[in-house]
Structure 1
Amino acid sequence: MTPPPGTGRPVVTFGQPETYDDQGRPRPLRARLRGRAVAAAGCVVLGLGLIGGAVTGSWLTGDSGTDGERGTFAAAADLWHSVPVDQLFPPTVRGDGAGPGGSDRTWTRIAVAPDSGCAGAFDPLLGKVLAPVGCERLLRATYTDATQSHVTTVGLLFTDADAEAMRSLDDRFENEDLGSRTDLVPRPYAAKGTAAAGFTTEQRATWTVSVLTDAPVVVYAVSGWADARTVDEPQPAEAAMASGATTAPAQAGLGHEAKGLADRIERGLRKNVTSPTERPS
């Protein structure tokens, strides 16, 4: 039975609320909300990317103090067996501006030592200084300059230490000026049949040692002449690079050889580290 006019309940339907776009056309609210959700998600992804980039960037430049660096510290400890030797010690290393007066340098690898422990790898006193951080693995390679006049051994000592122990060793090197002591010079790696065949402890001319605090690694380099000439008293690389230095190693630019090559091997080490969550399976 049809109810009399005006006595029935009106039929009400609920459609999607509408908003308007920039041209005045109706646009469902659902689309607007979806757009906002997408934009918000994009901001989250961008923010995470910036945070991750900041953590990686700080490690590459040697800055310290973030939680993310604990992950990179642990990741760096595995590089000695997870990264090919040609990445840790490239066959050719460019040193733009690394020579005296900002001249360019190029070093060519002539020998790679088998990876090993530290037994017999250092003079006894240097071995004693390094003992508190332990020795997980020691990697070494020897390079020559473009003229084959100089030879430089660069080493990567992967330690067993945590960040606190590495900071303690770095503080000791700094406070006690251990990097300048001629009784704490690293040993070179001499390889038969190469320009470094005569590069023994008596041929050590300049050296540098860098204790990393954001990785369990000690980076060092020691340089000498390829003609196997002996050196009465080696000179720290920083001193040999100083303006006005007149010693034979300084005049030959051997301080730049040691420091320049060590710095670039250290940079390569930093570039090779990846966070554990990013490692390929």
Structure 2
Amino acid sequence: MSFGEPEGYDQQARPRPLGVRIRPRIAAAAACVVLGIGLIGGAVTGSWLLGEPGDGGSQDTFATAGTLWHSVPVDGLFPPTVIGKGAGPGGADRIWTRIAVAPDTGCADAFDPLLREALAPVGCERLLRATYTDATQSYVTTVGLLFTKADAAAMRSLDSRFAKEGLDRRTDLMPRPYAAKGTLAAGFGDEQRASWTLSVLTDAPVVVYSVSGWADDRTVDDPQPAKEAMESGATTAVAQAGLGHEAQGLADRVERALRKNVGPSPEQSS
């Protein structure tokens, strides 16, 4: 596995002896052993790629994932251009362009008080954020990677709590956007939040979230979680505009970019 050089974040930014015969049964047994090892290795890699907990190297991948905030260049975590095939309403394709990257920081001002309290059990090692706009520049979306100080058990516990209590659907637990001066998102503040999603990973010490809104700085009186805004038949302005798809689609693809930076197989870095 190889990582890129650290990069500051800114706003824009073994042979068989001769003459010895190997009996067929022995050869067959050896082949089975090799095949078994290969399958096990593939399962471990697959568990990370699919986001499912695995045996074997899961602890190593968990620990490695926690270091990505300082060992992977910003473009490896927040690509300048993100292509979302089928990510829009009705399976339409989406393309997002990064317009700002926030300096890596702590979490003090990035979340509303109640959300900060809900996330407190896992701690905050580092927070990375970037803001994107869609191809039409009609929407802006901030996506964040919260690298926690927690172990796997604590991440599972937090994920369970969010699921049981529906914390990812409460409007008083929305993440805040990153409004970068001099960009299309300069006016993207708390009142402009329209849709959001938040995912607590259990195979990495990371919380992935995103929040979307209109690029014309309009205020939103009734923000809606992405899952609800993406439901078939949803008729709210947020849903009709596809802002749920903007938030969920971008968060999903940034999470995939995160996962591609961890794993032993060369294919994962291609």
Short-chain TM bin: 0.7 to 0.9
1:184-223 per-position Cα deviation (integer Å, ceiling 9, x unaligned): 0000001111110110001000000000011100000000
Q: TM-score if structure 1 supplies the norm length?
A: 0.83
Q: What is the CA distance between 1:67 and its match in structure 2?
A: 3.2
Relative distance call for 1:80 and 1:34 in structure 2 (3 A) is: farther
Counterpart mapping for 1:52-201 below 5 A:
52-201=41-190
State the AA in 2 paired with 1:232. D
Unaligned runs of 5+ in 1: 1-27, 276-281
Q: What is the CA distance between 1:38 and its match in structure 2?
A: 8.2
CA distance in 2 between counterparts of 1:84 and 1:37 reads 49
What SS does the aligned partner of 1:30 have? coil
Q: What is the CA distance between 1:268 and its match in structure 2?
A: 1.2
CA distance in 2 between counterparts of 1:29 and 1:204 reads 73
What SS does the aligned partner of 2:212 have? strand
Q: What is the CA distance between 1:83 and its match in structure 2?
A: 1.1
What SS does the aligned partner of 1:56 have? helix
User: Which one has the largest radius of gyration?
Assistant: 1
- Greater CA deviation, 31-40 or 86-95? 31-40
Match of 1:274 in 2: 263
1:240 paired residue among 222, 229, 232: 229
State the AA in 2 paired with 1:217. V
What SS does the aligned partner of 2:41 have? helix
CA distance in 2 between counterparts of 1:76 and 1:201 reads 30
State the AA in 2 paired with 1:136. E
Q: What is the CA distance between 1:120 and its match in structure 2?
A: 1.3
1:92-126 per-position Cα deviation (integer Å, ceiling 9, x unaligned): 00100000000000000000001111111111111
2:37 paired residue among 23, 44, 48: 48
Relative distance call for 1:55 and 1:230 in structure 2 (3 A) is: same
CA distance in 1 between counterparts of 2:18 and 2:146 reads 62
Q: What is the CA distance between 1:53 and its match in structure 2?
A: 1.7
CA distance in 1 between counterparts of 2:96 and 2:18 reads 65
Structure 2 contact 43–54 (Cα < 8 Å) conserved: no
Relative distance call for 1:250 and 1:32 in structure 2 (3 A) is: same
Quote the sequence identity (%): 77
Count residues in correspondence: 248
Q: TM-score if structure 2 supplies the norm length?
A: 0.87
Note the aligned Cα RMSD (angstroms). 2.0
CA distance in 2 between counterparts of 1:82 and 1:46 reads 34
1:115-170 per-position Cα deviation (integer Å, ceiling 9, x unaligned): 11111111111100000000010000000000000000000000000111101111
Match of 2:7 in 1: none
State the AA in 1 paired with 2:129. R
CA distance in 2 between counterparts of 1:141 and 1:263 reads 14
